[in-house]
């Protein structure tokens, strides 16, 4: 990646099955992902990479990741992934083991680094960063003091005012925030999990979440409810001076 700016497509919570015709809450997730990809890749916007922040699969099957690989591998872009609570990390890393995919780790451009964090906890819907993950993050940030940094994670870090969702957020968010507070090069934290768009700011750092490629959760409610908003994704342009230009795009289904 040699562009002065870094252009990303953020997709999240694809919830694919081994059977491409399967539905989740009445939604054929394979079809809605196809619609999102078609819209995201058309026109003159362009992108340098796709970033997918977890819940790639719903049924934790190797077949679901094979479908993901087939769909996104055909897009002609690097695809950076990390696991969510519905994922099977073993199958995920096995099926997405080679180019154009990368699961976890760090990606560096001229001015930016994107660090992919693993908040998956087996058998839990909420998330947590293991101590080894926190140690890796500290070391990665120390090596990138001269770069702007975007952190990507599945579970949201700051509360969004939705009781049931906030109970399933990043369980040790305070540990992550303490690291971010000591790393002035961190510009933003990008998450999935909540099936809704949001943007908050804390101490100069932006905290963004992005709609799911299938269906959305109703924001601002204490108990589970489905929103009527359609599938969506986010575009980001990471400028060399540290600014982030971003927009959420909603897909009107035919």
From first to last of the 254 residues of the chain, give the pLDDT tens digit: 445 899 999 999 999 999 999 999 999 999 999 999 999 998 657 899 999 999 999 999 999 999 999 999 999 999 999 999 999 999 999 999 999 999 999 999 999 999 999 999 999 999 999 999 999 999 999 999 999 999 999 999 999 999 999 999 999 999 999 999 999 999 999 999 999 999 999 999 999 999 999 999 999 999 999 999 999 999 999 999 999 999 999 998 65
- CB proximity list for 111: less than 8 A, separation 6 or greater: 4, 6, 147, 148, 238, 239, 240, 241, 242
CATH number of 6-250: 3.60.21.10
Question: How far out from the chain centre does Cα 190 lie?
Answer: 6
Token pair listed for 149: 């940094």
d(CA 36, CA 52): 13
Q: What is the pTM of this model?
A: 0.96
Strands 49-53, 6-11: parallel, antiparallel or unpaired by DSSP? parallel
Token pair listed for 228: 């009527």
């Amino acid at each position: 990646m040699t562009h002065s700016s870094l252009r990303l497509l953020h997709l999240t919570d694809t919830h694919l099955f081994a059977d491409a015709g399967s539905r989740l809450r009445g939604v054929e997730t394979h079809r809605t992902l196809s619609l999102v990809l078609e819209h995201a890749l058309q026109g003159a916007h362009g992108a340098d990479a796709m970033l997918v922040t977890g819940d790639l699969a719903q049924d934790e099957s190797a077949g679901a990741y094979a479908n993901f690989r087939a769909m996104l591998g055909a897009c002609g872009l690097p695809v950076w992934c990390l696991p969510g609570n519905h994922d099977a990390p073993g199958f995920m890393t096995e099926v997405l083991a080679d180019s154009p995919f990368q699961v976890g780790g760090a990606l560096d451009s001229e001015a930016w680094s994107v660090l992919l964090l693993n908040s998956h906890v087996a058998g839990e819907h909420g998330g947590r960063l293991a101590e080894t993950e926190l140690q890796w993050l500290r070391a990665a940030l120390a090596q990138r003091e001269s770069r702007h940094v975007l952190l990507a994670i599945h579970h949201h870090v700051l509360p969004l005012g939705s009781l049931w969702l906030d109970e399933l957020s990043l369980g040790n968010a305070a540990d992550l925030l303490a690291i971010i507070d000591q790393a002035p090069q961190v510009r933003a934290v990008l998450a999935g999990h909540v099936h809704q768009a949001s943007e908050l700011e804390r101490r100069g750092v932006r905290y963004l979440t992005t709609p799911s490629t299938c269906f959305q959760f109703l924001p601002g409610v204490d108990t589970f409810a489905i929103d009527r908003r359609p599938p969506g994704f986010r575009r980001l342009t990471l400028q060399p001076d540290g600014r982030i230009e971003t927009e959420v795009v909603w897909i009107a289904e035919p």
